[in-house]
Amino acid sequence: MEQVTTPLKVNILRKPIKHIYLRLRSADELEVSAPKRCPQKYIDELIAERHDWITQRRAQLRDTARSPSVPLLSTERVLLAGRWYLCQACRNAKAAGPEADSALFNVTVRGDKGLTEQHVDRQLRRYLSERITALLTYWEPLMGVKASCFGIRKMHTRWGTCNTRTEKIWLSFQLVHFPLELLEYVVVHELTHLFERYHNRRFYALMDSFLPNWRSLKQRLNHYEIPDYPSGQ
């Protein structure tokens, strides 16, 4: 796990509440919610007391969802499920997506418009949505749980989230680039939160029962090495 050395920005929000709450918005930004009349020294003391937790959590955030050093999406090529594909425009929506026996990724373009990154982004979202739907169809009855719905969005510090109140799960758009088994790990992880909200012993025991190799999958995801682009393409 990486050691965090960059300065920590602290934002203090005064609210009509009774207690002080700490939340890391990112690896470099701490949000403090405090009572309106809470003395500053109490806030400083709490931050000092939680120093070890803050340091550990910052390192976790830095170690998760790191931006790759090479672009994974362009109008020329895209990394899809751990494999590089050449992008090509197509007018037939039924032919959209990766070709089974080639390294071509067909992107639907209507009319005479040229291929843009927005077209590729939209096609990738459609592909990812289909993969997530298939995984939920398999895992929900197996686990005995059901999400109300799911969404896809770009995330900077995590691979997924689960709203235990609405039972909706959100998954990172970046997962479209990685092998299917890594996406599967995140789906199972978020579904497990419908049983247990927090990362505690019960949560980890449930993960062990559902997906025994989840720790190795997590390690692979957080340290995924982007494959080199084939020189012949």
Residues 131, 20, single domain; the answer is no
Scan for tokens 């020329």, then name that residue: 76
Range(s) of the domain holding residue 18: 9-63
pLDDT of residue 9: 87
> Do 182 and 101 share a domain, yes or no?
yes
In this structure, is residue 142 part of a structural domain? yes
CA atoms within 13 A on the CB side of 82: 10
Q: Is residue 233 part of a domain?
A: no
CATH of the domain at 189: 3.30.2010.10
pTM of the predicted protein model: 0.68
What are the pLDDT digits (tens) for 187-228? Answer: 999 999 999 988 899 999 999 999 999 999 998 888 888 877
Q: What's the pLDDT score for residue 140? A: 97
Exposed, middle or buried: residue 206 (CB in 10 Å: 0-12, 13-18, 19+)?
middle
What is the average per-residue pLDDT within 173-197?
94
Would 69 be classed as within a structural domain? Answer: no
Same domain, 28 and 84: no
Count of domains observed in the chain: 2
Burial of 35 (0-12, 13-18, 19+ CB in 10 A): middle
89 with 29, same domain: the answer is: no
- pLDDT at 5 exceeding the cut of 50: no
d(CA 85, CA 88): 9
